[in-house]
Amino acid sequence: MASSPAPSGTEVWPALPYEAWQDTCATLQLWSQIVGKIRLAQTPWLNHQWHVTLYLTARGLTTSPIPYDGRSFEIEFDFIGHTLNIHSSDGGERSLSLVPRSVADFHDAVLTALAELDIHIQIHGRPNEIPDAIPFREDRIHRNYDPGYAQRFWRLLLQVDRVFKQFRSGFLGKASPVHLFWGSFDLAVTRFSGRPAPPHPGGVPGLPDPITREAYSHELSSAGFWPGNGGLGYPAFYSYAYPEPEGFRTAQAQPQEAFFHEALGEFILPYEAMRTAPEPDQALLAFLQSTYEAAANAAGWDRDALECAIGEPGVPRAL
């Protein structure tokens, strides 16, 4: 398969045909799970698993600082230089090239690099949220890395991160950061009504039910971006409510290309429809706002108390 060139600096929303890079996508998801599990092993539990996620940077994705024995360290995927960089607070550094290599080799190389920095960590050795997953140390099947498409994916995520953060600024209630969950490999942002939710039934592949129930302990409206994994087969934005209130799925989502996916139980906006819209940012914001309103209205959220105007740079929120 030929490598894709990286998008130009002026291509804000690059094309990302899933069939052209799905093997790289699958490998990256597994690599990110290894890095994410390192953060998970060292970080105190935070509600809804917010302590395990990755965050966008100007070059890739990072764990943010991770505590270890009086020090801190950070792991970053660099999709410009195509390296995995490890930095510790005592000045230690290690770097691994992002090249085609098996998940098993990546797993061992990362843990070896950490050990060379006197950071010794054990992680759970099986991937999460992937049916019939192969343990990391045994996976020599997933080994693709197309640098052009990896960079396209990251540049796309930068734009999603930007618009999601704009959307997040219009909510006064409890809201998650914009962050990437490596289990399902989606960039997400979540709003909460403030009310508890009924226990989640669980049943997520490769995820213990107590973890799922903690993640969905409170009533929420969540939106995110999938690169095409998870069975959908194409990159798309999603939005769902938990618990799903009566009338949610029959609400009218915007823009007109958005629809409710019965099998997934979520509203879907195909990425290609958004990026080719006359005003892509506005199309995405319309999807986020309309599907949030569908959840909040159907469930009777106190919208007057929870919402505010979208934030502007350098302008304090008016009281």
Helices (H) and strands (E) in the chain, counts: 7, 12
Query: Looking at 88, 120, 138, which one is the last position of a domain?
Result: 138
Do 54 and 180 belong together in one domain?
no
Total structural domains within the chain: 2
Q: Measured between alpha carbons, how far is 124 from 135 in angstroms, rounded to an integer?
A: 9
Type and span of the H or E element at 225: strand 218-226
Query: Looking at 79, 114, 138, which one is the last position of a domain?
Result: 138
Q: What angle do CA 103, 152, 232 make, to 5 degrees?
A: 70
Do 182 and 72 belong together in one domain?
no
Query: What angle separates helix 147-168 from helix 280-299, to the nearest 10 degrees?
Result: 50
pLDDT (tens digit per residue) in 17-68 = 999 999 999 999 999 999 999 999 999 999 999 999 999 999 999 999 999 9
> Which pLDDT value is given to residue 283?
98
pLDDT (tens digit per residue) in 154-185 = 999 999 999 999 999 999 999 999 999 999 99
Do 246 and 109 belong together in one domain?
no
Do 74 and 154 belong together in one domain?
no
Do 277 and 214 belong together in one domain?
yes
pLDDT (tens digit per residue) in 269-306 = 999 999 999 999 999 999 999 999 999 999 999 999 99
pLDDT at 3 over 70: no
Type and span of the H or E element at 23: helix 18-42
> Which pLDDT value is given to residue 230?
76
The answer for residues whose C-beta is within 8 angstroms of residue 228's C-beta and 6 or more apart is 16, 18, 22, 25, 234, 235, 236
Query: Domain span at residue 271?
Result: 147-306
Do 96 and 188 belong together in one domain?
no
Q: Which residues pair with 312 in a beta bridge?
A: 315
Q: Measured between alpha carbons, how far is 75 from 147 in angstroms, rounded to an integer?
A: 19
Do 46 and 113 belong together in one domain?
yes
> Which pLDDT value is given to residue 54?
98
> Which pLDDT value is given to residue 1?
45
Query: Looking at 89, 106, 138, which one is the last position of a domain?
Result: 138
For residue 5, being part of any structural domain is answered with no
For residue 2, being part of any structural domain is answered with no
Do 158 and 73 belong together in one domain?
no
For residue 259, being part of any structural domain is answered with yes
For residue 262, being part of any structural domain is answered with yes
For residue 316, being part of any structural domain is answered with no
Do 130 and 250 belong together in one domain?
no
Indicate the pLDDT class of residue 196, thresholds 50, 70 and 90: very high
> Which pLDDT value is given to residue 39?
98
For residue 11, being part of any structural domain is answered with no
Do 162 and 257 belong together in one domain?
yes
For residue 121, being part of any structural domain is answered with yes
For residue 312, being part of any structural domain is answered with no
Type and span of the H or E element at 40: helix 18-42
Q: Measured between alpha carbons, how far is 47 from 214 in angstroms, rounded to an integer?
A: 7
Q: Measured between alpha carbons, how far is 10 from 12 in angstroms, rounded to an integer?
A: 6
Half-sphere exposure of 236 (CA within 13 A, CB side): 20
Terminal CA-to-CA distance of the chain, rounded, Å? Answer: 56
pLDDT (tens digit per residue) in 88-143 = 999 999 999 999 999 999 999 999 999 999 999 999 999 999 989 999 999 999 99
Question: What is the pLDDT averaged over residues 192-210?
Answer: 94
Do 279 and 160 belong together in one domain?
yes
Q: Measured between alpha carbons, how far is 59 from 75 in angstroms, rounded to an integer?
A: 12
Residue whose entry in the numeric block shows the structure tokens 């991770």: 66
pLDDT at 244 over 50: yes
Burial class (CB in 10 A: 0-12, 13-18, 19+), 265: middle
